[in-house]
Each structure stands twice: as structure tokens, then as C-alpha cells.
Amino acid sequence: GAGVSQTPSNKVTEKGKYVELRCDPISGHTALYWYRQSLGQGPEFLIYFQGTGAADDSGLPNDRFFAVRPEGSVSTLKIQRTERGDSAVYLCASSLGQGNTEAFFGQGTRLTVV
């Protein structure tokens, strides 16, 4: 597709379970970002990839959160031992990188932890 694709669009999981959220960026975009948006708030930065490496993971809230991008394209955000406070919309964005600042966002994955 032409835009950033995120799957699933909705995920309901029980407290304590493990979840994976997937992001498929725009083809050719080397930079990939994950954000988290709680209800009524602006998105908050989680992690930035340039190619395969996580260049900035300063936004990850704790060690239950981890993300990978093994081939420099698709990225997976992984959350272990989910808590009710993890419920939010997780947004992925990509950009051309190399100094290009315009990021294109996916439609997000709404995670609900019950």
C-alpha cells in the first residue's frame, strides 16, 4: 500500500499477557518512529529506528517494552506482562530519514488491556 500500515487495528488482551504490534512503513523510508497516544492527549514518543538500529529509545517507559526492525522495513513493538495502564493507541510513523523531517503516520493500533 501507499501509506503506513499498522496491524492489528484493535487488540484486546488480558493483564499480564504478551502482545506484538506491527508496523509496515512506506517503502523506501529508512526512519521509523513509534508513539503512544492516551485518550485526550497528544502522541508521546517511544522509539526511533534508522534502518535496523534503534537510534533513540529514550521514550520507552520501562523494560517491558521492546521494539525491533530486523530488516530495516517492518517493525514490531513488543509489550510483555501488559498492564491496564498500557491501554492506548500505538502509532507508527515513517519518513525518508537523512534529515527529512516530514513523518507520515499510520492509523494506529488501539490496545486495550482488561
Write out the residues near other proteins by the rule CB under 8 A. 31, 33, 35, 40-45, 48, 50, 55-56, 59, 89, 91, 93, 95, 97, 99-108
Q: State the nearest-atom distance from the C-beta of 16 to other proteins, in Å.
A: 27
**End-to-end Cα separation, the chain, in angstroms:** 32
Quick one: which of 37, 59, 64 has its CA closest to 48? 59
Q: State the nearest-atom distance from the C-beta of 72 to other proteins, in Å.
A: 14
- Between CA 105 and CA 95 the distance in angstroms is 9
Q: State the nearest-atom distance from the C-beta of 79 to other proteins, in Å.
A: 20
Q: 52 or 80: whose CB is closer to other proteins?
A: 52
Q: Which amino acid is at 75?
A: S
